[in-house]
Structure 1
Amino acid sequence: MVDVSQHNLVPEHTVVDEDAVDEVLAEYNIDRTDLPKIKRADPALPDEAEVGDVIEVVRDSRTTDQAVVYRLVVE
């Protein structure tokens, strides 16, 4: 079986530690539940990701070199 998370077109997904989550939420003045969602069953998620975790997704971007977005893991 193919490991989708290792495919070269799948952006990097990492679990954000709680201190960094607090900083991100404060920077954007939002609650955790205001973040866009990603399902726990998404094959691109790291194995250690659990429901309630925040994931940082780093994509290549033509205009800014890299674009960073955050997603909340849901069931």
Structure 2
Amino acid sequence: MAFNQAAAGSIPVGPVLILYLTFHLVPKHEVISESEKEVLQQNSDFDINNLPKIKINDPVVKELAKSNNVSAGDVLRITRNSKTAGEFISYRIVIEG
């Protein structure tokens, strides 16, 4: 498959990575602040450390690290759009990997 820079919407650093991160099936990932993390913990009946894991060397985390300081223990908010569920938000904790 040929790389289409216009379709990727960005200057290629690595064509596969750029396409992966800009592809419409990859949901929005964002690092939440410490205060948001505290609110999440207070309003939840689970321990933050029991969230699903995402490795720090995951391509999405690596891309986030370019504009945010991402480290192990940070929590990512993942927002997915669904035709049946509307907007669905999930969280993952970053681990070494």
Q: Shorter chain as normaliser: what TM range?
A: 0.7 to 0.9
Q: What displacement does 1:44 show?
A: 1.5
Q: Do structure 1's residue 65 and structure 2's residue 81 form an aligned pair?
A: no
Which structure dedicates a bigger proportion of its chain to helix?
A: 2
CA RMSD of aligned residues (A): 1.3
Q: Which has the larger radius of gyration?
A: 2
Higher relative contact order (CA 8 A, sep 6+): 1
Q: What displacement does 1:59 show?
A: 0.4
For 1:23 and 1:63, the matched residues in 2 are separated by: 28
Superposition TM-score, scaled by structure 1 size: 0.87
For 1:24 and 1:62, the matched residues in 2 are separated by: 26
Q: What displacement does 1:5 show?
A: 2.1
Superposition TM-score, scaled by structure 2 size: 0.70
For 1:7 and 1:40, the matched residues in 2 are separated by: 20
Residue 33 of structure 1 is matched in structure 2 by: 49
Any gaps of 5 or more consecutive residues in structure 2? 1-13
Any gaps of 5 or more consecutive residues in structure 1? none
Alignment size in residue pairs: 75
Following superposition of structure 1 onto structure 2, how do residues 1-75 of structure 1 map, counting pairs within 5 Å? 1-2=14-15, 3=18, 4-45=20-61, 46-47=64-65, 48=68, 49-75=70-96
Q: What displacement does 1:51 show?
A: 1.0
Residue type of the partner of 1:52?
Answer: G
